[in-house]
Amino acid sequence: MKHILIDADTGIDDSLAILYALRSPNFYVEGITTCFGNNCAEQSADNCLRLIQLAKCGYDVPVAVGANESLDGVFGSAPAYIHGDNGIGNVELPETTQEPINETACDFIIRKAQELKGELIIITTGRMTNLAMALEKDASLPKKVKKVVAIGGCYKVPGNVSPYAEANIHGDARAADMVFKAGFNLTVVGLDVTMKTFITQADVDNLCEYCLEECRPIAEYIKKALRFYFEFHRVTMGMAHASVVHDPLAMLIAEDPSLGVYEMVRAGVEYQSEKFSGMITTDDGFVPVLDREEIAICIQVDSVKAVRRLFSVFQNMEPGRYNKKKN
């Protein structure tokens, strides 16, 4: 059982990652912290609370509201045509009586790391602002956290907000640079692999046909949310009834690192140059600068296995279930 904390800007792909984590028997979700990105931190928190209720994971999952702007005071939100006005494809999930806890995201991160004594895995699916703010308060945090898995960046491929940068890293490049250089056991899952991993309408149809009865409301939500997300991909990328897989891939790799192949590098993030802001920079010199720990950047992934696993937690996977004789 892996104890995880999810830091999210809860959009459509974040919601799939969160639902997977809440239903996976291999995870115990210690809490969710939210930040700006796909929407504001408060809307992200509201989405998380509704998703927790939808998942029916059987235990309490606290939600802490975090940063609404970058370390440099800039707020940037994704256009509504990507994730909808509410961040989850304009799907209206039932309200919940649960409320966010009275604790900031960065304080919650520090507290959970202290309580779990080196067993906490942090998975970031948005900007790294909350984690950087926690670092500013507790520089020893990397020694208290087992691992960080982050969605973000473009290593050997073009970016999606500029030729050099991916949205999550670009959204708070200084925060990302801090995290990259802090000494965390860090795995970065970026566009190099997420843009080669796809969910199709056939995957959704398969989910809806074979989902567990208790997961039928989850399957219906996924179907509606992905309909919105598929349309964005059709208009912007020419993809028919399909989307790339960003945030869920970080969750899957956090659960099973063998899904990926990694390159170990000493890296940082450019944040002072406007043109190159958000670009991952590596120490490629003949004489290395040994001023930081290496991080793992995912460069290949078993995309077919990843997508099958993503939906498996919502399905009845009993062997031979549909081949049994009827009395």
Q: What is the pLDDT of residue 321?
A: 52
Q: Nearest CA to 65 among 98, 36, 93, 104?
A: 104
Per-position pLDDT tens, the chain of length 327: 999 999 999 999 999 999 999 999 999 999 999 999 999 999 999 999 999 999 999 999 999 999 999 999 998 777 888 999 999 999 999 999 999 999 999 999 999 999 999 999 999 999 999 999 999 999 999 999 999 999 999 999 999 999 999 999 999 999 999 999 999 999 999 999 999 999 999 999 999 999 999 999 999 999 999 999 999 999 999 999 999 999 999 999 999 999 999 999 999 999 999 999 999 999 876 556 666 789 999 999 999 999 999 999 999 876 655 445 444
Burial of 274 (0-12, 13-18, 19+ CB in 10 A): exposed
Single pTM value for the model: 0.94
Task: Give the contacts of 274 (CB within 8 A, at least 6 positions apart).
Answer: none
- Which residues are tagged catalytic? 9, 246
User: What CATH number has the domain spanning 2-315?
Assistant: 3.90.245.10
